[in-house]
Amino acid sequence: MRCARPTRTLLALSVAGLLLGAAGCTSHDDAPTVAQLARSSADSVDVVAQQDPSARSVAASRALFASAPGAVVASASDAGAVRDAASAARAAHVPLLLTSDGGTPSSTPSADAGDDGDRVAAELRRLGADWYQAEGSVAVDTDVPEQDAPERGDVPEASDASRAATVVVSDRRSEAAAVATAEAAGARVVAMPDGVTDPAAAPDVVSALHDRAEHPTVLVGSAFGDLPDPQWTVRAAESGWQLPHGGQRPFDGHRYVALYGAPGAPVLGVLGEQDPAATVRRAEGTAKEYDGLGDEPVTPAMEVIATVAAGDAGADGDYSTELPASTLEPYVDAASDAGMPVILDLQPGRSDFLSQAKRYESLLAKPNVWLALDPEWRLTADQVPLQQIGSVSASEVNEVSSWLADLVRSKGLPPKAFVLHQFRLSMIQDRSSLASHPELDVLIHVDGQGSQPDKQATWKALHQDAPEGVHWGWKNFYDEDTPMLSPQQTMADVQPTPSLITYQ
């Protein structure tokens, strides 16, 4: 497997001074971020994700009704009865409760019902119900009498607190009882798209939660039981920030074409060949060449080198030139105005990735700013750039990903991409031990240069025994690839198709 160091990056040794003075601007540290502007509802998110439909119907009732004069009961297995019961529950402004079968529910206490025995009977008691209406063949072991629901005008409406809720259902058809209960309570109901289980990947859900950020949220559906942190998911959605093609999850249905380089340094990549506004236009033009070449929409992006491996130790002795955040801000701001994500790339020399990442916390606190680690330039205390190809341990990568995930979660930010550059297996040691976080989408960016057979061999080698769930990126070099692939060739020849394609 052959891949040399990128020639443009080697020239970093002679341009450190240029970079330090490039593209300065006034700091925006005092500007409010999306997370600061968004209201948190972390204490008002209920998850109704029990596997049993009867248990879910009772949990939805508990989440939406403090009390009710009655309820409508139907068997979960009788679709016709559930439809009739849903209409009756909406008309009477009361919950719809399901039994697990068509007969009398078991009177044996369950985990959902506790010591009260049957969950439906227990819920009728909790509601303070004076009656229940049965649809289809059901029977409830309760002292509450069975009768038809009163006319609508005779029934008080649900409480103001219940009416304020936003109810997200995984599927309207399978969650018909919860939908009826929510609409009976006056809640706003929004359904997930088919096949999507992560609210961050559902544009309409993100919009609804943003529009109703001051209201409590209820997530209904067994699929939501797999959400690691529902409260953060809802809080991030409430910020309202979305990718240009919708949703917040970076690599769920999205592809990016990015320009790579450092501000004011053309020798390090095409990003540095023009000012921020022109970089935006060039990135848009490059990405446009990929339109129609795949099933996923294409978004232009930037990958900006924030710390540059240096040929001398420097005042701090780490062989890395750390650009001030103020130098990077014009690119971040221009990209943000254009709806583009920005990836900050770290080349730490003898420093460590976490120390350098923390330097840019103010930028990483922005929703469109992501992070990349470049292990080629992570050196030990006795190494010097250009004399060795560096490497990083999985434990150090995990320290960075944990810190970044904590930042995302604590500030209510949308998920971020976490990019790991690699063109040799040795560059990320013990790669199988890389940690995963719901706040981050991990992408391995294969950034070798040279002949296409060599690049393809590297691509295939790095895919072997890769961690489950990672995404993949590919780099095209204008000068060093022999030849550089066209957009059509990149999409056809690089398989699986990369989620991130950068140009240097």
- Among residues 246, 249, 274, 260, the alpha carbon closest in space to that of 445 is found at 260
User: pTM for the complete prediction?
Assistant: 0.86
Whether 8 shows a pLDDT value over 70: the answer reads no
- What amino acid occupies position 476? N
Distance CA 164, CA 369 (A): 33
Query: Distance between CA 364 and CA 416 in Å, rounded?
Result: 9
Question: Which bin fits 107, alpha (ψ -120 to 50), beta or left (φ > 0)?
Answer: alpha
When pLDDT is averaged across residues 205-224 and rounded to a whole number, the result is 96
Instruction: Give the per-residue pLDDT at 318.
Output: 83
What is the spatial distance between Cα 127 and Cα 64, in angstroms, rounded to a whole number? Answer: 11
- Verify cis geometry, omega within 30 degrees of 0, for the bond prior to 487: no
Averaged pLDDT for residues 32-37: 28
pLDDT band for position 164 (50/70/90)? confident
Closest alpha carbon to 34 in 330, 287, 254, 239? 239
CB atoms within 10 A of CB 132: 25
Closest CA to 23 of 385, 332, 477: 332
Q: Go through 189-207 and write b for each residue having 16 or more CB atoms within 10 A of its CB, e for each that does not.
A: bbbbeeebbbbbbbbebbe
With H, G, I as helix, E, B as strand and everything else as coil, classify residue 503.
strand
Give the pLDDT band (50/70/90) at residue 157. low
Digit-coded pLDDT (tens) for 229-271: 999 999 999 999 999 999 999 998 899 999 999 999 999 999 9
Q: Above 70 in pLDDT, residue 371? A: yes
The predicted structure's pLDDT at residue 319: 82
Residues 271, 279 contacting (CB under 8 angstroms): yes
Look at residue 96 in the predicted model and tell me its pLDDT: 97
Which domains, ranges and CATH numbers included, belong to the chain?
A: 45-238 (no CATH), 261-503 (3.20.20)
Question: Which of 54-63, 304-313, 475-484 is predicted least confidently?
Answer: 304-313
Q: CA 220, CA 227: separation in Å to the nearest integer?
A: 12
Is the pLDDT score of 424 beyond 80?
Answer: yes
